[in-house]
Chains A and B, each alone.
Chain A
Amino acid sequence: MMLSSILVLLITNPAEMLNEMIGASTSALELCIELCAVYVVWLGFIELVDASGLSQKLAKLLRPLIKKIFKVDNEETQKIIALNISANMLGVGNAATPMGIRAMQALDDQSGKANFAMIMLLVINATSIQLLPTTVIGLRSTAGSANPSDIILPTLIVTFTTTILGIILCHSIEKIRKKIKGRKRE
């Protein structure tokens, strides 16, 4: 991707390349400073949720679902996944990120390949199972919408459909992969 962009830039606009790259990494740095501030709040919050035993309760509530969707048995990992999904549902993606990273680390089997649970976690995060799209509603009301929250219902319908589609797709692909592997062994 970077190679093709640079090749095209050589023809169209060679002088701008370095400027653009440094500009982008500057905005990455700004983003990271902002993220750091956000993570301080959310990691502190999550530590409290954890210390008070609420995360165990949440995990217990979501355990049957997580077990079925992710096929994960480790209780600690189930807890982190439960926190990641809850943060996504609340629409605080920035609180979900640290939990997502931790969950991926816990699921890592050092094989160099993503396993089923990891892929599932990414797909579920990618289809964004949020209940309240707060940022979008905020932007709409700033732009002078008469009824900024009338997009909630369609958003919910789409989110649920794509999340379920993603779960079904991952499970069927996994089944096909297992079949192929089984055949190879025979």
Chain B
Amino acid sequence: MSAYILPILFLLLILYCMYKRINTYDNFVKGAKGAIKLVVDIFPFIASILIAVALLRVSGITAWLTDILSPIFTFLGVPPELTELVLLRPFTGSGSYALLEDILTTYGADSYISRCACVIMGCSETIFYVATVYFSQTKVKKLLYAIPVALFCSIIGTILACLLCRVM
């Protein structure tokens, strides 16, 4: 079902452009031109955050944090098997999706743990990555309360996700 949404959206857009007598090709090219410059602008920021995450993992700090945080998560109703996913999620999209695939194959796609992991992935974002990339092209140095609020919301979301998966 959901596979049809994007193709239909593209089709409708092109039909609408034809109706409005807009040159689809020229405008598409004009927009697409911005892609390379955008990627060049954000590359150093993406590289830095990925390097930081890699160092965290290889130094063993992540494993250490997982051990410390697991009991707290269990207390909040989050299965300890998901601690690493919850920790990694704010930093890297590809890393956390790889971990989700791991969880799905280890525990089975329809187990409670996998369903929790899926809901957590669906309702959270790579907060630090998004913050780095979004603010990379501005003069902003101080984010004030943005990150704490975002993290707090995603922790509440995690707890709620595990709670809902128990009943739904």
Interface residues of A (CB under 8 A from B): 1-2, 4-6, 8-9, 12-13, 16-17, 20-21, 23-25, 27-29, 31-33, 35-37, 39-41, 43-54, 90, 92-93, 97-98, 100-101, 104-105, 107-108, 110-114, 118-119, 121-123, 125-128, 130, 132-137, 139-140, 143-148, 150-151, 153-155, 157-159, 161-163, 165-166, 169-170, 173
Residues 153-168 of B at the A interface (beta carbon under 8 Å): 153-154, 156-157, 160-161, 164-165, 168
Q: Is the CB of B140 within 8 A of A161?
A: no
Chain B residues near A44 (CB-CB < 8 A): 27-29, 31-32
Partner of A104, one of B93, B135, B145: B135
Partner of A122, one of B24, B30, B150: B150
Nearest Cβ on chain B to A135's Cβ, whole angstroms: 7
Please tell me which stretch of B40-48, B67-75, B80-88 contacts chain A, meaning at least 4 of its Cβ atoms lie within 8 angstroms of it: B40-48
Q: Is the CB of A29 within 8 A of B17?
A: no
Partner of B22, one of A9, A43, A51: A51
Nearest Cβ on chain B to A141's Cβ, whole angstroms: 8
A4 to B65, CA, bound (A): 13
Chain B residues near A4 (CB-CB < 8 A): 61
Nearest Cβ on chain A to B152's Cβ, whole angstroms: 7
Q: Is the CB of B58 within 8 A of A153?
A: no
A33 to B21, CA, bound (A): 33
Q: Is the CB of B61 within 8 A of A8?
A: yes
A161 to B152, CA, bound (A): 13
A137 to B42, CA, bound (A): 29
Chain B residues near A132 (CB-CB < 8 A): 2, 5
Residues 10-29 of B at the A interface (beta carbon under 8 Å): 10, 13-14, 16-17, 20, 22, 24, 27-29
Chain A residues near B141 (CB-CB < 8 A): 112-113
Given contacts A28-B46, A100-B134, A136-B121, contact A20 B55 (CB under 8 A): yes
Nearest Cβ on chain A to B18's Cβ, whole angstroms: 10
Could you give 8 example pairs across A and B, Cβ below 8 Å?
A: A8-B59, A20-B55, A93-B125, A101-B136, A154-B119, A154-B164, A155-B122, A161-B160
